[in-house]
Structure formats: C-alpha cells, structure tokens
Amino acid sequence: MTSLILATTTPGEAEIFASLQGEGASIGRPSVFVRLSRCNLACQWCDTAYTWRFAGDNRPHRDNLAFERGSNQVAMNVEDVAGRIAAFGVPRLVVTGGEPLLQAPALARMIAILRETVTPLHVEIETNGTVAPSPTLDALIDQYNVSPKLAHSGNPAALALIPERLAAWAAESRALFKFVIATPADLDEVRTLAQTFPIVPERLFVMPEGTDSATLRERARWLAEAAMQAGWRFTDRLHIHLYGDTRGT
C-alpha cells in the first residue's frame, strides 16, 4: 500500500482543507490544499516549520522551536488522501509542504486516482525549485509555483539555488516563480537570477515576507512600487489577512 507523509492540523489529523489560494497567480480561487511533511531546505523565517524542524533538527529557525514528529506528521494511504480531497467537490488542488516533490512517486499515484473521480481538476504544486519532478508526476501537473529561496532564507546557495534546476524551471511554461522579499536589498538578487536564467517578467512574482497583516502591509508599500518599475507581478498573502498565521487555512 502506497502512503503519503502529511503534516497535521492537530495530532493525528492530516492537513487537508479547503480555502482560498492566498498567493500567486491563483490568488482568491477556491482550492483544496494538501500539506505534505518533510523539506530538504530550512528557511529561518519558514511559517510551516512544523513540517520539518522536528526534535533533534538543529537547522536555524528564528523561533527556535522543535516539533514532536509523532504529533506533526501522519501517514495516509494515497486512496484515502484522494478520497478526502474529492469529498470537498472543489476542482482545484494545491499540493504544498514542506517540499512536495520529495514524495513524487506516492504523490503521482494519489493524483492519478483523483483525476479518475474529479473532472475537471486543476493541480498546482508549490515547490522550492531544488527537486526535479518525476516524469510520471510531471504529466499530471497543470501549474508549478516555484519559490527559490534567496540568501535571507539562511540556506546556502549551493543547496537552494541549483543552476540546472532554475534553468529547467525557467524553460517550463507551467512554472511561475515567486520570490519572498524581506528587504529592498533582496530585489538585487531577484534581478540577477531573472537575468541569468532568464525568467520572463510575466511569470515572476514578488511577495512580502511576513506572518501578520501589519508587516505585510508595510512591506507591500515599497515592494509593489518596485514590482511595477521592474515589470514583475506582485502578490500578497491573502490567507494571512483573512485567517492569521494558522494551520489548515
């Protein structure tokens, strides 16, 4: 039996929920979300550290919290996950994490089952851009929301910004780039990446980093202007304004 490892909203309860997409090109669209556990990177401002920073993991995070794995991770067979998603009756699926592409074989099996029961179905995967999708999974995906991690994330560039992967995503028409921005200095790094690979402006989003509305609004004021000048797209974090920094939203 094939299983996926999911994050939880409460101990033992998988984080599968319906909400509005809060970020990127699909912002405001009703969606079903599946949050998978495990990540190969460690962003110091990550707002879902409960998917990877388990007891014994000393990778830096600004909250310095260690989560108990048994309470924050649950295994479910792919048939049950697909059934839970289908029951919402929403034709848009967003697979997030963690890093979903670490579980590509099981994820492909789950989506294949789901496509047999939900028609039409639009599938988005949110990824940090360091892992290539398997051919089997890739054939099932409509949209990739690729969020490469800049230097302020605390990840070494050798791990977070892999040239061959960034070039591949830039060449993939289904891939949209979303850069998390904390200070104006981060924009120089985005400009360099956009020129190097290259990334067309229509597929490049910049988003303020923050887990509360006040921080997002303050950063949005200068970031929106910078996006307009560069010809990039700006995205807010709608779910934070609506629900706060909470699981299952």
Q: How much is the average pLDDT of 12-40?
A: 98
Pairwise pLDDT comparison (147 vs 58), residue with the higher score: 147
Q: pLDDT tens-digit profile of 92-107? A: 999 999 999 999 999 9
- 215 is a domain residue: no
- 227 is a domain residue: no
- 48 is a domain residue: yes
- 7 is a domain residue: yes
- 242 is a domain residue: no
| Strand residues in the chain grouped as ranges (E) | 3-10, 13-14, 16-20, 30-35, 73-77, 92-96, 122-127, 143-146, 175-181, 204-208, 233-234
Model pTM score: 0.97
Q: pLDDT tens-digit profile of 175-233? A: 999 999 999 999 999 999 999 999 999 999 999 999 999 999 999 999 999 999 999 99
CA-only gyration radius of the chain, Å: 17
- 232 is a domain residue: no
- 228 is a domain residue: no
Q: How much is the average pLDDT of 58-70?
A: 94
Phi, psi of 158 (to 5 degrees): -65, -25
State how far the Cα of 72 lies from the Cα of 94, in Å rounded to an integer.
20
Domain that holds residue 9: 3-202
Q: pLDDT tens-digit profile of 105-123? A: 999 999 999 999 999 999 9
CB 19 within 8 A of CB 86: no
Residue 1 has pLDDT above 90, yes or no: no
Number of domains in the chain: 1
Q: Tell me, what CATH number does 176's domain have?
A: 3.20.20.70
User: How many Å is the maximal CA-CA distance in the chain?
Assistant: 52
**What confidence score (pLDDT) does residue 151 get?**
98
- 158 is a domain residue: yes
Confidence of residue 64 (pLDDT cuts 50, 70, 90): very high
Residue 137 has pLDDT above 90, yes or no: yes
